[in-house]
Structure 1
């Protein structure tokens, strides 16, 4: 059994046709196109069905008139069909192919130029699917580590509410915990770990997550119901950052 290619910029495809000569021509045309990767050829739809149960395929070049199981019957039986290009000697199935949302409908004998146009359609759709799949991937939540309680603790930036400096220690207050994380660092060092667009030093002793602020005045701000002082020398930078959010 041929394995699925690792290069996802290419389209993995199979060809199904009960006529050996027609199958050979389709396979040869596929091999001429750099972005197609032929991973299987089948003379009947039943063998192809077994293959698809074990292997993911992007595109099928599918004959319609075949014994035992026609191409249309085969396609209707697929729970999640890949892209399909019909290759047939019969025009009368074109409307049915449209109803089945096939990529293209090629009439035999198929000139290579026409075959290439159909392959290009599939490639454009494949690239769109890949782009959409990337958009749906969960974004990695950025984080940092601090040493506390004799271990390295992972803290996600979006969970930090505010940080309070205590000489050589800082208290890191995070969502979902009433107890702050106490670590031996000064406020300047912890500030260097934080993304500047998300956090702001508002006082000699405080750094605040900008998206956790509910209100502010010139001398103080509110994080939920907690008041945090704003130092005079930090006010201008804070206002500029906060108003850009």
Structure 2
């Protein structure tokens, strides 16, 4: 995520820069000592996250938020808790009271990541795909697919009560469906994670009572995603 810092205290700037570098998932595109200096960057670049102090010269952080019509996600950084309630009127994701630890910083950034993922999931349209099966092109809704299995030179697309054969490889399906909650769980299986009801041992149980295996190399990644 691209982020900027608006903070007039140099020690606080240095701490934020170090935390941003250490977390590894943020790209700092600008640091400013007052809010007005940051406007050009916000208006001309893709900025996902704003670390914003409240007590700033010329224009306070809260007043600055009032001027933004399409604000990035905001994490407020301040030594004063007085404005906490007012700040949440502007969809502030978190409110960091100085001095804050790296652990607390990571927690705040994680909230932004979770929020972005939720928004992207809601915005992602339900899609239909056409698969070439023999001489036919068959239209299938992605939500109807339970899993895809590799079978020699073909892949089997398993729906509720039927399956279709496709000439595409499992790797191609994995790349094509990654953004639609399909996950590789075995060298021969790609599963629609929204259909999972439970994991037991080395097996995955789906909501139509189908059971598919989970490979040892894929188990940890699936448990991590399935538990979120």
User: 4+ residue runs of structure 1 moved beyond 6 angstroms?
Assistant: none
Query: What residue is the counterpart of 1:63 in the other structure?
Result: 53
In the TM superposition, residue 196 of structure 1 has moved relative to its aligned partner by 8.0
1:94 aligns with 2:84: yes
Query: What residue is the counterpart of 1:194 in the other structure?
Result: 137
1:20 aligns with 2:10: yes
5+ residue gaps, structure 2, are 141-228
Mapped to 1, the partners of 2:71 and 2:104 lie a distance apart of 23
Cα offsets for 1:61-102 (capped at 9, x unmatched)? 100000111111111111111110000011101111122221
Specify whether residues 39 and 140 from structure 1 end up closer, same or farther in structure 2 by C-alpha distance, changes over 3 A only: farther
Secondary structure, in 3 states, of the residue corresponding to 1:110? coil
1:82 aligns with 2:72: yes
Mapped to 1, the partners of 2:16 and 2:100 lie a distance apart of 9
Query: What residue is the counterpart of 2:112 in the other structure?
Result: 122
Cα offsets for 1:27-62 (capped at 9, x unmatched)? 111111122222221111111111111011111010
Does the Cα contact within 8 Å between 2:36 and 2:59 map onto a contact in 1? yes
In the TM superposition, residue 131 of structure 1 has moved relative to its aligned partner by 2.1
Specify whether residues 26 and 195 from structure 1 end up closer, same or farther in structure 2 by C-alpha distance, changes over 3 A only: same
> What is the 5 A alignment of 1:141-180?
none
Bigger CA radius of gyration: 1
5+ residue gaps, structure 1, are 1-10, 145-190, 198-245
Report the count of equivalent residues.
Answer: 141
